[in-house]
C-alpha cells in the first residue's frame, strides 16, 4: 500500500485545470447502458472509481475504454443484469446501474452496497421509488433482485433529496411507459448534468436543479458525445488548500456558480476568492479567520464533500469554529488523525468544535475515506515538518494523482512505497 511523504510549510502557487466531475461521470457512464449506440464521455479524470465502474460495466458485456481523457462505451452486447458482489461492495456507485439495467433488460440483481466510512448509506429511497414504478423487489442474502417487466411512470415524492436515488429513478424512468415526476429531487449540478446527458441521447427530461423533475418515457435512445461538468469538489479542495497553507492558486475550466456556498464562506475569511470567467483565484498570505458555524446541507447548501477540507483550514485559523455535518452521520473519522498533528477538536454527535492553533505538526496519519484523505494531504502541506499519509487508495478514488497536482503547485510531496 503506497503512501505519500509530505514536507510542509511551503505556500502553494500556480494554476490547475479541472477535469470532469467524478460524481457526474459515474452516473453518466451508467446511463450509457440505455442505448446500444456508441457513446463518448470527454475530459474524464484517471481515478479508480471510474476504472472500477468500467470493470463492472465490462462484466455486463460493455466494451468500454479510457484512452487519454476520452471514455468510449459500446453497449451493443451489454445484456448483463447482475453486478458481482465483490465489485458492488468496492464501489457504491455501482448501485446507479440498477435504474438503467431495469430500463434496458427489465431485470437486475445488485448486491446491497452497504455502508462505508462516512455512514450507513441506506438505499430505502431508491427502492421505494422503484417499487412505486412497478418494480418487484426481493432481497436475499444481501442481494437485491428486481423484476421490472411492469416498469411504468409514476408520481414520486422523495423523503430526502438523495443524489443517488434521484439519478437511479431518472434513469429507470426515461424508457418506462408514461410520465414520471420526481418531487423533492436532489438539486446538485451533477443531477442537471445527468439530465443534459439523457436529453442529448433523445430522452424527454426537464426540471433538474429544481424541486420537481418531469420525465416522459420514450421507446429508444441514441448515442452521444458529451463533456460532463467540471469537478466542483476537486476545485474546492484546491482553493481550500491555498487558504489553509497560504499562496496564490487558480483553478481553471470550472463553473464558479457550482461553488457558491464555498465562495460565500471563503469571502468571510481572510482570503477572498476572485472569479474571472471559468477561473477562480485565491490568494492567501495570512492566517485564515475562523468560521463561527459551518453546516453541511444538500445543494445549494454547503457540500458535505468539502467539510473535511474546511475542518483542516479551521484547525489553523484564529479563534474557535464549529462544524455541523447534516448529511452523513460519521464523517469525522479524520478528527483522530488531525489530533495526532496537534489539532484541538472535540466532537459530539454531528457537531465538531475546532480551536485553531498557529500550525499543525507533521505526523504519520491514515486516510479513512476519500475526502478525509485529501484533507489530510492539505494538513500535511501546511504543517511543520514531515507527514506521511497512508492508505492512499482512498484518495485515488476521486483525485487524479493528487501528489502531482500539489507538486505542480510547489508543495513538497511525493509517493513512496
Ligand atoms: C452522492 O452520494 C455522492 N456520490 C457523494 O459523494 C455525496 O457526498 C452525496 O451524494 C451527497 O452529496 C456520488 O455521487 C457517487 P445521497 P449518495 O443518497 O448518492 C441518505 C464523494 O466523496 N439516504 O444523497 O450516496 C444517506 O444516508 C461522495 O464524492 C437515505 O437515507 O448520497 C445520507 O445521509 C461521498 N436513503 C443522505 O441521504 C437512501 O436511499 C445523502 O445520501 C439514500 C440516501
Q: What would the pLDDT profile of 180-217 be if each residue is shown by its tens digit?
A: 999 999 999 999 999 999 999 999 999 999 999 999 99
CA pair distance 397, 303, nearest whole angstrom: 18
| Cα 162 to averaged position of ligand 1 atoms, centre (Å) | 6
Do 93 and 65 share a structural domain?
yes
| Cα 306 to averaged position of ligand 1 atoms, centre (Å) | 14
Atom 18 in ligand 1: which residue has the minimum CA distance?
162
Q: What would the pLDDT profile of 204-252 be if each residue is shown by its tens digit?
A: 999 999 999 999 999 999 999 999 999 999 999 999 999 999 999 999 9
Whether residue 116 lies in the annotated active site: yes
Q: Of all atoms in ligand 1, which is nearest to the CA of residue 190?
A: 14
| Cα 121 to averaged position of ligand 1 atoms, centre (Å) | 7
Q: What would the pLDDT profile of 42-98 be if each residue is shown by its tens digit?
A: 999 999 999 999 999 999 999 999 999 999 999 999 988 898 888 887 788 888 899
**Residue at a domain's end among 226, 259, 277:** 226
Q: Identify the pLDDT of residue 114.
A: 62
Closest to 182 measured CA to CA, from 218, 152, 161, 213: 213
Collapse the DSSP code of 388 into the 3-class scheme (helix H, G, I; strand E, B; otherwise coil) and give the result.
Answer: strand
Q: Of all atoms in ligand 1, which is nearest to the CA of residue 163?
A: 24
| Residue with the larger pLDDT of the pair 198 and 2 | 198
Do 256 and 210 share a structural domain?
no
Mean pLDDT of 359-384: 97
Q: Show Cβ contacts of residue 315 under 8 Å, excluding neighbours closer than 6 positions.
A: 338, 341, 343, 344, 345, 354, 356, 357, 360, 379
Do 105 and 251 share a structural domain?
no
Do 12 and 33 share a structural domain?
no
Do 278 and 400 share a structural domain?
yes
The three grid cell numbers given for residue 238, joined into one nine-digit string: 484546491
Which of the residues 39, 116, 146, 393 is marked catalytic? Answer: 116
Do 93 and 199 share a structural domain?
yes
Atom 25 in ligand 1: which residue has the minimum CA distance?
164
Q: Identify the pLDDT of residue 113.
A: 80
Residue 328's φ and ψ, nearest 5 degrees, are -115, 140
Do 244 and 205 share a structural domain?
no
Answer yes or no: is pLDDT of 115 > 60: no
**Residue at a domain's end among 192, 226, 260:** 226
Do 265 and 209 share a structural domain?
no
Pocket around ligand 1: residues whose beta carbon is below 6 Å from it? 22-23, 26, 93, 119-126, 160, 162-165, 186, 304-305, 327-328, 370-371, 398
Cell 420514450 identifies what position?
218
CA pair distance 67, 50, nearest whole angstrom: 13
| Cα 379 to averaged position of ligand 1 atoms, centre (Å) | 25
Collapse the DSSP code of 103 into the 3-class scheme (helix H, G, I; strand E, B; otherwise coil) and give the result.
Answer: helix
Q: Of all atoms in ligand 1, which is nearest to the CA of residue 188?
A: 12
Do 239 and 202 share a structural domain?
no
Q: Are 251 and 258 in contact (CB under 8 A)?
A: no
Total domain count, the chain: 2
CA pair distance 354, 361, nearest whole angstrom: 16
Atom 44 in ligand 1: which residue has the minimum CA distance?
162
Mean pLDDT of 344-369: 97
Answer yes or no: is pLDDT of 118 > 70: yes
What's the pTM value of the predicted model, to 2 decimals? 0.97
| Residue with the larger pLDDT of the pair 417 and 167 | 167
Sheet holding 3-7, edge to edge: 364-366, 386-390, 3-7, 412-416
Answer yes or no: is pLDDT of 407 > 70: yes
| Cα 338 to averaged position of ligand 1 atoms, centre (Å) | 24
Do 94 and 150 share a structural domain?
yes
Q: Identify the pLDDT of residue 417.
A: 78
H or E, element range at 402: helix 402-408
**Residue at a domain's end among 187, 206, 226:** 226
Do 133 and 45 share a structural domain?
yes
Atom 26 in ligand 1: which residue has the minimum CA distance?
121
Q: What percent of the chain has pLDDT over 70?
A: 99
Query: Domain range holding 155?
Result: 22-226
Do 399 and 250 share a structural domain?
yes
| Mean pLDDT rounded to a whole number for the chain | 95
The residue whose CB lies within 8 Å of the most ligand 1 atoms, and thus the one to mutate among 327, 334, 350, is 327
CATH number of the domain residue 285 falls in:
3.65.10.10
Amino acid at each position: 500500500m503506497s503512501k505519500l511523504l509530505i514536507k510542509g510549510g511551503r505556500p502553494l502557487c500556480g494554476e490547475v485545470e479541472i477535469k470532469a466531475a467524478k460524481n457526474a461521470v459515474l452516473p453518466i457512464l451508467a446511463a450509457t447502458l440505455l442505448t446500444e449506440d456508441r457513446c463518448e464521455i470527454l475530459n474524464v479524470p484517471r481515478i479508480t472509481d471510474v476504472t472500477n465502474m468500467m470493470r463492472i460495466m465490462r462484466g455486463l458485456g460493455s466494451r468500454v475504454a479510457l484512452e487519454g481523457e476520452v471514455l468510449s462505451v459500446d453497449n451493443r452486447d451489454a445484456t448483463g443484469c447482475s453486478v458481482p458482489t465483490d465489485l458492488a461492495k468496492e464501489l457504491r456507485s455501482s448501485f446507479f446501474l440498477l435504474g438503467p439495467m431495469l430500463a434496458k433488460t427489465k431485470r437486475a440483481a445488485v448486491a446491497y452496497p452497504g455502508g462505508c466510512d462516512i455512514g450507513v448509506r441506506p438505499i430505502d429511497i431508491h427502492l421505494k421509488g422503484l417499487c412505486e414504478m412497478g418494480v418487484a423487489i426481493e432481497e436475499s442474502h444481501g442481494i437485491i433482485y428486481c423484476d421490472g417487466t411492469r416498469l411504468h411512470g409514476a408520481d414520486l415524492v422523495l423523503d430526502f433529496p438523495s443524489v443517488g436515488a434521484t439519478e437511479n429513478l431518472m434513469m429507470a424512468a426515461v424508457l418506462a411507459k408514461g410520465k414520471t415526476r420526481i418531487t423533492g429531487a436532489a438539486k446538485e449540478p451533477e443531477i442537471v448534468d445527468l439530465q443534459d446527458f439523457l436529453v442529448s441521447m433523445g430522452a424527454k427530461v426537464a426540471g433538474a436543479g429544481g424541486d420537481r423533475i418531469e420525465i416522459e418515457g420514450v421507446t429508444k435512445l441514441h448515442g452521444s458525445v458529451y463533456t460532463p461538468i467540471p469537478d466542483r469538489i476537486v476545485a474546492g479542495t484546491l482553493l481550500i488548500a491555498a487558504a489553509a497553507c497560504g499562496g496564490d492558486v487558480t483553478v481553471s475550466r470550472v463553473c464558479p456558480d457550482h461553488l457558491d456556498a464555498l465562495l460565500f464562506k471563503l469571502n468571510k475569511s481572510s482570503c477572498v476568492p476572485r472569479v474571472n470567467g471559468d477561473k477562480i483565484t485565491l490568494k492567501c498570505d495570512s492566517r485564515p479567520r475562523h468560521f463561527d458555524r459551518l453546516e453541511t446541507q444538500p445543494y445549494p447548501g454547503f457540500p458535505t464533500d468539502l467539510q473535511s477540507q474546511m475542518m483542516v483550514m479551521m484547525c489553523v485559523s484564529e479563534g474557535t469554529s464549529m462544524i455541523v455535518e447534516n448529511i452523513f452521520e460519521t464523517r469525522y473519522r479524520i478528527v483522530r488523525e488531525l489530533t495526532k498533528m496537534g489539532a484541538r477538536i472535540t466532537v459530539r454527535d454531528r457537531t465538531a468544535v475546532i480551536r485553531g492553533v498557529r500550525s499543525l505538526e507533521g505526523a504519520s496519519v491514515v486516510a479513512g475515506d476519500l475526502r478525509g484523505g485529501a484533507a489530510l494531504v492539505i494538513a500535511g502541506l501546511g504543517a511543520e515538518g514531515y507527514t506521511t499519509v497512508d492508505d492512499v487508495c482512498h484518495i485515488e478514488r476521486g483525485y487524479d494523482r493528487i501528489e502531482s497536482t500539489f507538486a505542480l503547485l510547489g508543495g513538497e510531496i511525493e509517493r513512496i512505497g
